[in-house]
Amino acid sequence: MLQKHLKEEIMKQCITQAGIEKTVSKETLKIMTGAAQLLMEQLLKQAAFEANSDGRKEVNLKDLDKVWPYTLLSFL
């Protein structure tokens, strides 16, 4: 569920930032979906590392808040 929410949110941000809210070509959507998937995977890996370093087995939103800025920068 967390993955689905992240993917949807990233896709909304990609579309909004690109200024293509109304029409998106299939190729552009494919590229953005791939980028969103990669970013989501990196976010979840980093968040899992944060949780593990605190001795927890489950990732929560606080972990994502911690890792979002530097994961996004490393992704760019």
Task: For each of the domains in the chain, give its residue range(s) and CATH number, in order of start.
Answer: 2-75 (1.10.20)
Q: What is the pLDDT of residues 34-53, one digit of tens each?
A: 888 888 888 888 888 888 88
Whether 21 has a pLDDT exceeding 60, the answer reads no
Half-sphere exposure in the Cβ direction for 30 (13 Å, CA): 3
Q: Ranked by mean pLDDT, which of 36-40, 44-48, 59-63, 68-72 comes out on top?
A: 44-48
DSSP single-letter state for residue 22:
S
Report the interhelical angle of 26-53 vs 2-18 (nearest 10°). 130
What pLDDT score was predicted for residue 53? Answer: 87
Q: Which has the higher per-residue pLDDT, 70 or 58?
A: 58
CB neighbours of residue 22 within 10 Å: 6
11 contacts 3 by C-beta, under 8 angstroms: no
